Structure 1
Amino acid sequence: MNKAFVKESEQDDEEPAGGAPALPAGSPNYMTRRGANALREELDALVRTERPSVVQIVSWAASNGDRSENGDYIYGKKRLREIDRRIRFLIKRLESATVVDPGQQEQTDRVFFGARVLIADVESGEEQRFQIVGVDEANASAGRVSWIAPIARALLKAREGESVRFMSPAGWREVEVLEIHYED
C-alpha cells in the first residue's frame, strides 16, 4: 500500500523513535539495568512533566481562537504527536526488554553481554575500551557498543589473549582481547 494512504499513527508504530535502530527480527531486547533505568526515567519525564506542559500550552493556544494560523497550537499538536510516539516506543521497548545484570555473569573469563572489554588492534597496537550493551543504550563516544555491532558479535565468547577477525566499515580488522571485566 502506498504510504500516502496510510494514517500517520500506523506509520509511527513501525518506526523506532529517536533514531534508535530496530532490533534484528526474532532477537531479544537485551538491556543492562542501567539502560533500563534510563529508559524508565525518560518515560517518566515525558509522562509526568513534558507532556502535561505541552498539553497546557496547546489548551491555551486553542482558547485563543483561529487554530489554522495559530503557531503555538500547530507546533504544540506536532510536539504532542512526537511525545506520544516516543512514549509508545519506550513502553514497547521496556515491555520486551530482557534486563541482564553484568555483575551476575558466571563465566567471567569470556566476553558476553555487559562485559567491559579492553582490546588492541593487532596491526596498529591501538587500544580501545568499551562495554557491550543493549541497542537502546549504545553510545560509541561514551564507550558503549551495541551487542549487534560487528565488533561485539565477533568478540562474543572470546577469552583474554584470543584474537578475533571481523568486518568493520573500513574493511577486515583483527583485534586481541586484553581484559574482560563484569560490573554494572
Structure 2
Amino acid sequence: MSRGFVKEEDQEEIPMVPPRADLPIGATNYVTENGLLKLLNEREKLIGDKELSHQDNEKEQRIAINLINSKLQLLSERITSAKVIHLEDQPKNEVRFGAQVSLLIGNAKSPQEFQIVGVDEANISENKISFLSPIARALISKKVNDVATLQIGKEDRLFKIVGVRYDK
C-alpha cells in the first residue's frame, strides 16, 4: 500500500541513533584488550535490553527495538573491524598505542598521566585519549625525556615525557 494512504499517526518514527566516536574512513580501528572487552559487554547489554524491552503499546515496542537494533548494527561494525593491540608486545621504552604516558605539560611541576587508546575507549575524564588525537600523534614514537610540541592556536605547548608503561 502506498504511504499516501496511511494515517499520519500510524507512521512510525525512525529512531535517531547517536553516532559512535569518529573513526576516519580508512583508519584502522585499533583497540586494547580492555577496549574490545568493553565493546563486547556493551553488545551483551544491548541484547539484554532488547530481550527485556516491554512497552505498553506495540508501536512504542517496535520503535524501542528498532533503536536497539540500530545501535547493535553500529556496534557490530566496530567489533568486526577491531584490531586488538596486545600491550605486552609494545616496545617498553617508547610511546605507542596503549601506553600509559606520564607528562610534564608546559611549566607544570607534577606530571599528568594519559593512556593512548582506541576511539571507542577514549574518555578524557578517565585520562584516556584517542590514538587519533593531536596530542597522541605528537607523542607516538617518543621516549622518556623526549619533548613533544603541539601547536595550540598561536602557542606551542611542550609535553615532556617522564614515564612510559604498559598496564593491562
Residue 134 of structure 2 aligns to which amino acid in structure 1?
P
Aligned residues: 156
Distance 1:141 1:169 in 2: 23
CA displacement at 1:110 relative to structure 2: 0.7
Contact 2:102/2:114 (8 A) holds in 1: yes
The 1:102–1:82 alpha-carbon spacing in structure 2 relative to 1, beyond 3 Å, is: same
Verify: 1:122 aligned to 2:121, yes or no.
no
Normalised by the size of structure 1, how large is the TM-score? 0.76
Normalised by the size of structure 2, how large is the TM-score? 0.83
Distance 1:18 1:175 in 2: 34
The 1:171–1:84 alpha-carbon spacing in structure 2 relative to 1, beyond 3 Å, is: farther
The 1:18–1:130 alpha-carbon spacing in structure 2 relative to 1, beyond 3 Å, is: farther
Q: Who is 1:93 aligned against?
A: 78
The 1:53–1:99 alpha-carbon spacing in structure 2 relative to 1, beyond 3 Å, is: same
Structure 2, unaligned runs of 5 or more: 1-12
Verify: 1:40 aligned to 2:40, yes or no.
yes
CA displacement at 1:164 relative to structure 2: 0.8
Contact 1:39/1:94 (8 A) holds in 2: yes
Q: Who is 2:57 aligned against?
A: 61
The 1:169–1:92 alpha-carbon spacing in structure 2 relative to 1, beyond 3 Å, is: farther
Q: Secondary structure at the match of 1:145?
A: strand
Contact 1:150/1:168 (8 A) holds in 2: no
1:61-81 CA distance string (max 9 Å, x none): 23xxxxxxxxxx33x333222
Percent identity (aligned): 28
Q: Who is 2:89 aligned against?
A: 104
Q: Who is 1:51 aligned against?
A: 50
